[in-house]
Amino acid sequence: MNESQPTDPSTGPVTDAVTHQHAYFPPTQPQSVWEPHPGAAPPALSAPERPRGRGVTKPIVVTALLAGLLGGAVGMGGSMLLNQDASSSVPVLSSQPAPAATAADVQPGSITYAAQVASKSTADIKVSMNQGTAVGSGVVLSPDGYVLTNNHVVAGAVNGGDIQVTIADGKTYPATVTGTSPSYDLAVIKLKGASGLTPATLGDSSALQVGEQVVAVGSPENLSNTVTSGIISALSRTVTAADESGSGVTVYNGLQTDTPINPGNSGGPLVNLQGQVVGVNSAVDTGQASSGGVQSFGLGFAIPIDTAKRIANELLQDGQATKPVLGVSGSLASADQSVSGAQVSSVQQGGAAAAAGIKAGDVITKVGDAPVSNYADLMAQILTHTPGETVPITIGSGGQARTVSVKLGSAVDKQQTTIPESSGGNGSSGGSGFPFGGGFGLVP
């Protein structure tokens, strides 16, 4: 050990408590200034003596004495602190006020603002049926109580179910179905005796960009006014789900979002950061459901508001909506598995496709600029257009590709647009499927 390193007889080298490095004192000069310790006599200071043999000088002895006195003072202080803690009263815990929200937090362009705006125009919907209760959400369309929601939320009320709707202020109203559009999974209901409701502001889904932040409001698992946020993950996705009969697959085109959407969110608003409704929440991809409950993978889907506006206006005016008709049939199982596109099994005589020169066996690869990889894509893309609209359709690929213009037909949307899983030649699956367009053709 270096002789200049002070020591404590009981603890060894004096160590700095913060840096854990040794504290060194001057090894050869006596202390020129001394501060007396309470109750301690000052040591006698004298001139340094010559070293004798292996001994140490008196200044070092003085230094060691000071270190020992310092250690004793520290020990005393620690003892006093412990005694003080032991005699102190039990502390009383209290909360501090949270910082006030800044102006930016409640201005357009923030999640807080979007949530506040959307919550005022969101309704909770409960449908009581003989076989159970369905819950969902809705978007308030008018002060007197017209509300937009999903068809699958209120489908049970068509056969006598009872609808109860709770709005943002907690009031509950009975409601009836104004009209439904099964192919688009949309419906409009009317609250009885309602007035002074806050209508939602509808936005423009065609202006959305991938990565744009959005907010969903609804009642997942009966938890009213639940707000979740995320982004737009994709603008055009083919959404498929089992149809009501279980014999086919219902198809539509939707917005994809990673915003958490769960059972009970169906029919509620998906809004941008301006608080404008850009979609109607409709479905979530849960992958393989386990016995322990639903598994969520962050794949939510909403019906674009541009589509929902057209359907809602028709339901409000006529109590029914229309959908476009292409007039072909096919299935998810193409006759040629190597073909990428929607292979046409048959063409409706006198229909829109026939008039454009589309024939059985043709493979449709694009609708407008949207690529088509299978028959479900074809159906979903047709549904994005309006009845009577002229749409370019590409048949084949590569050097064999050709494009034809098709003026789409129209049909009243009375049942889901579905697709059989195998080809039956007339749009059905072994006779048990769902016929398109009254027995033949694609509607869309």
DSSP assignment of 254-308: EEEE-S---TT-TT-EEE-TTS-EEEEEEEE---S-BTTBPPP-S-EEEEEHHHH
* H or E stretch at 328: strand 328-329
Clarify whether 37 is annotated catalytic: no
Handedness of CA 157, 161, 162, 164 (dihedral sign): negative
Cα 345 to Cα 424: distance, rounded to the nearest angstrom: 8
Cβ(437)–Cβ(412) below 8 Å? no
Handedness of CA 317, 146, 229, 127 (dihedral sign): negative
DSSP assignment of 309-325: HHHHHHHHHHS--EEEE
Share of the chain residues as helix, strand and coil, in percent rounded to the nearest 5: 20, 30, 50
Q: Write b or e for each residue in 52-83: b if 16 or more Cβ atoms lie within 10 A of its Cβ, otherwise e.
A: eeeeebbbbebbbebbbeebeeeeeeeeeeee
Catalytic residue among 152, 183, 205, 377: 152
Catalytic residue among 266, 282, 334, 346: 266
277 burial (CB, 10 Å; 0-12 / 13-18 / 19+) is: buried
CA atoms within 13 A on the CB side of 182: 19
Q: Which two tokens stand for residue 333?
A: 């199982």
Cα 325 to Cα 379: distance, rounded to the nearest angstrom: 10
Instruction: Give one word for 293, left, alpha or beta, with left for phi > 0 and alpha for psi -120 to 50.
Output: left
CA-closest candidate to residue 222, choices 264, 183, 172, 269? 264
CA atoms within 13 A on the CB side of 7: 9
Cα 208 to Cα 304: distance, rounded to the nearest angstrom: 10
Catalytic residue among 119, 124, 185, 385: 185
Beta strands in 108-185 (DSSP E): 122-129, 132-140, 146-149, 162-166, 172-181
Q: Write b or e for each residue in 236-248: b if 16 or more Cβ atoms lie within 10 A of its Cβ, otherwise e.
A: ebbbbbebbeebb
Clarify whether 20 is annotated catalytic: no
CA angle 153, 255, 331 (to 5 degrees): 80
Would you tell me how many other CB atoms lie within 10 Å of the CB of residue 122? 29
Clarify whether 185 is annotated catalytic: yes
* Active site amino acids: 152, 185, 266
